[in-house]
Structure 1
Amino acid sequence: MLTIEQIREGLAQPGKSQKGLAAAMGVDNSTISRLLAGKRPMRAHEIPVILGYLEAGSTAAGGRARAMPEIVQIGGDRFAMLPVYDDMVSAGPGLEAEDAPPSYRIAFRVDWLRRAARGNIGDLVVLTVDGDSMEPTLRQGDSVLVDMGQQRPGQKDGIYVIRTDGGLQVKRVAVNPTNGRISVISDNREFYPTFSDIQPDAIHVIGRVIWLGRQVGM
């Protein structure tokens, strides 16, 4: 079910506006204002139009549209229910990701997500790390929050989820400013090699890791 809170969150994303939604629905701006204020009911035939507008321009790897996560109100705070995919990213030789529904969802404060992410909170997913190639930074079983809106590594290295011939992996990635070639680095350098001078089209960047969670004792 589409809620007013989800519409508000969608309109707060870059490139979205109340005026743009009004144009997509074929109504005037005051109609959207009444809708958001709860003074006008949302009609069934309008829901696909609203979703289409809010999701346009936000696509997952492979070109599929990503919907805004459910927003829930707890006390005076709003939380986004982000999807969690277990055992989907390898910090080792590589793990092939299947097109599967999320294992479950986890709540993150919306105001924190706005500070941590660069764009649409619909671009955020939580993945579980499998392997030891990124130790001590990332460990087996860690949860990582990935911003799939950040798919262009810069000169300063960052930790990214990438797709290679070996499947999905989490690695440190940097771009050589001179020739544009990419370096893929494992933090556990004693046991895993660094790959430099890689053609940019040899890997597909899924997104940047912006947060990690770890169970105590792991």
Structure 2
Amino acid sequence: MLEDPYKKWVISNLEKPGKSQTGLAKALGLHPSAINRVVSGMRQLKSHEVAGAVAYFGEDPPLTEVMQNTGGLTEGIVAGKVEAGTFREVDEFDQSERQRVAIPRDELFPNARQLLFDCSGDSMNDLKPRPILQGDRLVCLAYDDVEHLLELKSGMVVVVERTRDSGHFREWSVKQLELYPDRAEFHPRSTNPKHKPIVIRQDHEADDGVTVKVIALVRRVMNEMPGFS
């Protein structure tokens, strides 16, 4: 597992008078258990959380070797499955560690987290120039880490999260973005007519209890050839 480059910095600052895991969690808007997981190496600080930690500690983090490295391998976090039309119950108390795998570092965004999603279903089997098929693994950038660097544009392929019932149920799906002056449309590219686009209007307040947001930008698609198992 690739260690969080901020872990030692966090631990050393938490040892200072007046600093605590509870205080840091409150400053970042997190449950104290999340900070405990950072300290124990089971969770990494996100980029916006690092900024909050700097404000709480009053000290900038060191420029680490990991942060300077722009080549070679990094770790990807296996986030889960993308499947259009399937809402799964969210366990907010699940603190199990996600699987991590070694993948090439993204040359354009070397410090962004890379999330891996496994594709199920046929909602993108007609994407051009290359379809996304069942069994494909999507290599994505965590949108939280790059939204200040990269503007969303029409044609981007994104992972969209829809939640309902106050966030208790979640759907992750992959869509192609189309932007218009008054709305954003997230389109399936499928030969199956049951898959419909998600349309978000700028002046529209959802009244059906469903929220929609982009959580990742698809950068690469991987698959393994059969016959080796």
TM-score, with length taken from structure 1: 0.56
Relative distance call for 1:154 and 1:109 in structure 2 (3 A) is closer
The aligned residue for residue 138 of structure 1 is 132
Aligned AA for 1:135?
N
Equivalent of 2:107, from 94, 103, 114?
114
The aligned residue for residue 12 of structure 2 is 45
Relative distance call for 1:215 and 1:185 in structure 2 (3 A) is same
Measured after TM superposition, the shift of residue 211 of structure 1 is 0.8
Relative distance call for 1:83 and 1:154 in structure 2 (3 A) is closer
More contact order relative to length (CA 8 Å, sep ≥ 6): 2
Identity among equivalent positions (%) equals 15
The aligned residue for residue 90 of structure 1 is 82
> Is the contact between residue 130 and residue 141 of structure 1 (CA under 8 Å) also seen in structure 2?
yes
Relative distance call for 1:105 and 1:55 in structure 2 (3 A) is closer
Measured after TM superposition, the shift of residue 91 of structure 1 is 3.3
Relative distance call for 1:114 and 1:155 in structure 2 (3 A) is closer
After superposing the two structures, state which structure 1 stretch, 163-172 or 145-154, moved more: 145-154
Relative distance call for 1:2 and 1:167 in structure 2 (3 A) is closer
The aligned residue for residue 179 of structure 2 is 175
The aligned residue for residue 28 of structure 1 is none
Paired residues, number: 160
Structure 1 distance, partners of 2:135, 2:107, is 26
Structure 2: gaps of 5 or more residues: 17-37, 53-65, 164-169, 206-210
Relative distance call for 1:217 and 1:153 in structure 2 (3 A) is farther
Aligned-residue RMSD, C-alpha: 4.2
Relative distance call for 1:48 and 1:154 in structure 2 (3 A) is farther
Aligned AA for 1:114?
E
Structure 1 distance, partners of 2:151, 2:2, is 34
> Is the contact between residue 147 and residue 209 of structure 1 (CA under 8 Å) also seen in structure 2?
yes
Equivalent of 2:219, from 179, 197, 210?
210
